[in-house]
Amino acid sequence: MGKYKQVTETLTVEDGLDLSEIESLRDEMEEWVDNMGGTALENTNRYQMASDAKDTLDNVDEIRFEEIWEVMEDSESLTEEGLKALTYQVVIFRPKSRRQSTSRAYRLSNALSVIDGALGCLETFLEPYSEEEVGEVRKAISNISSQVQDLDSVDFPGMYG
């Protein structure tokens, strides 16, 4: 963590439920795999790590935040707009130097922390409600949270190793 500093950001749930950084990482790994395919690098550990990372990140397509709002349509006490506007704080890592870019591992960690924070904010907000009122919403959040946690197992190959 020597090259990074912790920064606390305040986000809305709507902003936090964003997969674009994870999709970008998946696209980078896909490009690596495509570029190494058919070359001598195809049989290296680096290729295998990039391929494994890409395969795991492909699961991002299965995450559907819309599921939360879809199951909530029957609720009389909750609104999609109200839940999306909830705010929460999350700690993320940024490079200490403006000239330094954020590593893929930290980019993924930040993205997962932001999403986890948004889901946690929703869970906390729903605590006072009965299971009958918001049971399906809680189940959707739990399913999505499990899918997001599966992405935490990604190991990215190093640039030079």
| Cα gap 54→26, rounded to integer Å | 5
Predicted local distance difference test score (pLDDT) of residue 1: 54
Q: How many domains does the chain have?
A: 1
Classify residue 46: in a domain, yes or no.
no
The answer to whether residues 120 and 88 touch, using CB atoms and an 8 Å cutoff, is yes
Tens-digit pLDDT profile for residues 88-133:
999 999 999 888 888 999 999 999 999 999 999 999 999 999 998 8
Token look-up 């490009």 returns 31
Classify residue 143: in a domain, yes or no.
yes
DSSP assignments along 38-98, one per residue: TSGGGGSHHHHHHHHHHHHHGGGGG--THHHHHHHTT-SS--HHHHHT-EEEEEEEEESST
Tens-digit pLDDT profile for residues 137-149:
999 999 999 999 9
**pLDDT for 65 beyond 70:** yes
Classify residue 27: in a domain, yes or no.
no
**pLDDT for 161 beyond 50:** no
Token look-up 């920064």 returns 7
Q: Comparing C-alpha atoms, which of 35, 71, 89 is closest to residue 44?
A: 35
Classify residue 41: in a domain, yes or no.
no
- Domain hosting residue 99, numbered range: 4-18+64-153
Classify residue 121: in a domain, yes or no.
yes
Classify residue 70: in a domain, yes or no.
yes
